[in-house]
């Protein structure tokens, strides 16, 4: 982030953008020469570096750009006061000597004062002059410098410019592809307030408590600090309202990942880390089990009214999704508040509660049977989790089956694949299969993988009849070929439905024959 006087922008018809540094030959040249200057001037005063920067300005490079880069480079170096004499102590001595000898209104008297102090400290007079204000910012000496590549510096500059512009923001809207737990944690830590809404994508609006009462830049700094966490994602879009300080007009600012990512320094996407060993342990154990449930860490937030819940895990099987939250320290109030939030969510939530860290008696909790709770000590037991998951799956499936049964779906296509149909309407395959097998729709026959329209079966029957020949038998492979050529996968079931049987001669399907019952 830069001092606001170094912020350069473009403004047009209510839109505003920072004047980003493009990686042109010129810009890279400025960045490179500044980096080299810092590298070459280790051991010298800050004022020397400042002089170098103003030389670049004199050459006609935009001064805010040059100073902005220098500002960032200052932060990559360590500046220190030259060691030897403590300037504060030196000044004290000088001023005391001045009191005794009189103000240095003549060169003669000045020399006498300096010499007096120099001899006290057993140093030369020049040393006194040199150290008198050695602790002033411009006199500090560059001790160490951590160089970086010119294009990296430009990217960092662009990120800083963006953040500096956001100092003046009154509101920020964004969407991102992940990193949610970190984003919302940062929102909370920075004292901001969010609202979520769907506009095709999952959007978050950010401002602060007092934004309710007036348009304020108060939360601009916090918003600027949030930016790196948002753009640490592969995909994101950021839109802000900027209350431009010089004209007091509201401007729009928009930044998109696909377009701007390449020129902004992107903070490292942190690896998925676990809040606790308990979580990690659970995830590893669960994944080792091959249960058919997909475990996902940091799933996307679950909207609950205008707020969100960010569960620790989601567990998903077919269309059934269960969220899981692991609670360390807890109080009844905390869990009830959570519950209150969960009421607004159409989702299954399983809460694992640490029995050892209970701040209240468990008995209090048992009274509130609305929560799906699993107790644990050091480790989350897998059996009750799986029991809950299967229960949830069954419940959902039963509910879905019931729903499907009550619906009279009218099919027209010759084949209806259970799995495809389930995916289309968002229920589990099992539920579809159960509902449709039990009571197939008019004009359809239920197979193991889907429904087949009767007239399609009749077509198959006719083709098989034609091939049966005088013996009334047909090799099984031929029958299968006919059936499959009509697009039906389940040959066995089809033959059965058409009133054929299969005569096996040994275990070889090649030798089996199809015959009428």
Query: Which residues contact other proteins by CB under 8 A?
Result: 8, 60, 63-64, 88, 91-92, 94-99, 102-106, 110, 113-114, 129, 132-133, 135-137, 191, 193-195, 208-210, 212-213, 216-218, 246, 305-306
Q: Decide whether 3 or 305 has the Cβ nearer to other proteins.
A: 305
90-99: burial string, b at 16+ Cβ within 10 Å, e else: beebbeebbe
Q: Is the dihedral of CA 40, 46, 47, 51 positive or negative?
A: positive
Q: Decide whether 98 or 417 has the Cβ nearer to other proteins.
A: 98
Q: Decide whether 304 or 515 has the Cβ nearer to other proteins.
A: 304
215-241: burial string, b at 16+ Cβ within 10 Å, e else: eeebbbbbbbbbbbbbbbbeebbbbbb
In angstroms, what is the minimal distance from the CB of 129 to other proteins? Answer: 8
Q: Decide whether 12 or 505 has the Cβ nearer to other proteins.
A: 12
In angstroms, what is the minimal distance from the CB of 8 to other proteins? Answer: 7
Distances (CA, A) of 334 to 208, 326, 330, 341, 478: 23, 13, 6, 11, 68
Contact 251, 244 (CB under 8 A): yes
Q: Decide whether 129 or 249 has the Cβ nearer to other proteins.
A: 129
In angstroms, what is the minimal distance from the CB of 299 to other proteins? Answer: 23
Beta strands in 377-499 (DSSP E): 415-417, 444-446, 450-453, 473-475
The string of DSSP codes covering 185-236 is: HHHHHTT-EEEEEEESEEEEEEE-GGGGTS--STTHHHHHHHHHHHTTSSSE
In angstroms, what is the minimal distance from the CB of 137 to other proteins? Answer: 6
In angstroms, what is the minimal distance from the CB of 336 to other proteins? Answer: 14
Contact 10, 20 (CB under 8 A): no
In angstroms, what is the minimal distance from the CB of 193 to other proteins? Answer: 5
Q: Decide whether 101 or 362 has the Cβ nearer to other proteins.
A: 101
- Provide the CB-side half-sphere exposure for 260 (13 A, CA): 23
In angstroms, what is the minimal distance from the CB of 104 to other proteins? Answer: 4
- For residue 477, the SS3 value is helix
In angstroms, what is the minimal distance from the CB of 55 to other proteins? Answer: 14
Q: Decide whether 216 or 372 has the Cβ nearer to other proteins.
A: 216
Q: Decide whether 306 or 462 has the Cβ nearer to other proteins.
A: 306
Q: Cα(295)–Cα(284) distance, rounded to whole angstroms? A: 10
Task: Name the phi and psi angles at 310, rounded to 5.
Answer: -115, 95
How many C-beta neighbours within 10 Å does residue 12 have? Answer: 8
């Amino acid at each position: 982030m830069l001092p606001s006087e170094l912020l350069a922008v473009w403004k047009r018809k209510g839109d505003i953008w920072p004047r980003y540094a493009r990686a042109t030959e010129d810009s890279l040249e400025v960045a490179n020469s500044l980096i080299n200057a810092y590298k070459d001037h280790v051991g010298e005063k800050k004022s020397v570096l400042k002089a170098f920067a103003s030389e670049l300005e004199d050459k006609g490079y935009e001064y805010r750009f040059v100073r902005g880069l220098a500002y960032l480079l200052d932060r990559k170096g360590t500046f220190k006061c030259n060691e030897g004499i403590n300037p504060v102590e030196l000044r004290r001595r000088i001023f005391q000597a001045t009191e005794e000898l009189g103000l240095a209104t003549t060169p003669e008297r000045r020399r006498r004062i300096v010499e007096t102090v120099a001899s006290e400290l057993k140093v030369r007079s020049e040393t006194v002059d040199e150290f008198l204000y050695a602790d002033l910012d411009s006199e500090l000496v560059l001790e160490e410098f951590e160089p970086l590549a010119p294009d990296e510096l430009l990217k960092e500059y662009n990120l800083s410019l963006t953040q500096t512009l956001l100092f003046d923001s009154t509101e920020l809207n964004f969407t991102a592809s992940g990193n949610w737990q970190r984003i919302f944690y940062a929102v909370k830590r920075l004292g901001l307030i969010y609202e979520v809404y769907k506009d095709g994508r999952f959007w978050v609006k950010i401002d602060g408590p007092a934004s309710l009462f007036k348009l304020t830049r108060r939360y601009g700094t916090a918003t600027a600090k949030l930016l790196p966490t948002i753009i640490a994602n592969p995909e994101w879009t950021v839109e802000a309202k900027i209350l431009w300080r010089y004209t007091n007009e509201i401007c729009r600012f928009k930044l998109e990942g696909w377009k701007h990512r390449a020129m902004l320094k992107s903070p490292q996407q942190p690896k998925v880390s676990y809040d606790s060993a308990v979580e990690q342990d659970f995830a590893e154990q669960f994944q080792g089990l091959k249960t058919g449930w997909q475990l996902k860490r940091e799933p996307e937030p679950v909207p609950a009214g205008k707020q969100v819940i960010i569960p620790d895990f989601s567990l998903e099987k077919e269309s059934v999704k269960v969220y899981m939250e692991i609670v360390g320290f807890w109080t009844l109030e905390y869990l009830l508040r959570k519950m209150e939030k969960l009421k607004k969510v159409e989702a299954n939530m399983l809460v694992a509660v640490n029995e050892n860290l209970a701040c209240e008696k468990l008995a209090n909790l048992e009274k509130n049977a609305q929560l799906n709770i699993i107790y644990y000590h050091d480790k989350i037991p897998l059996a009750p989790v799986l029991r809950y998951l299967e229960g949830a799956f069954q419940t959902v499936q039963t509910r879905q089956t019931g729903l499907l049964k009550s619906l009279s779906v009218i099919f027209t296509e010759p084949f209806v694949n259970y799995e495809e149909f389930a995916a289309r309407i968002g229920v589990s395959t099992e539920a579809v299969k159960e509902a449709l097998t039990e009571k197939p729709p008019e004009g359809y026959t239920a197979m193991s993988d889907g429904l087949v329209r009767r007239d399609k079966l009749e077509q198959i029957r006719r083709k098989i009849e034609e091939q049966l020949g005088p013996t009334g038998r047909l090799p099984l492979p031929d029958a299968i070929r006919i059936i499959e050529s009509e697009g039906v996968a389940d040959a066995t079931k089809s033959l059965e439905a058409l009133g054929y049987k299969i005569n096996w001669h040994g275990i070889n399907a090649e030798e089996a024959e199809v015959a009428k019952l």
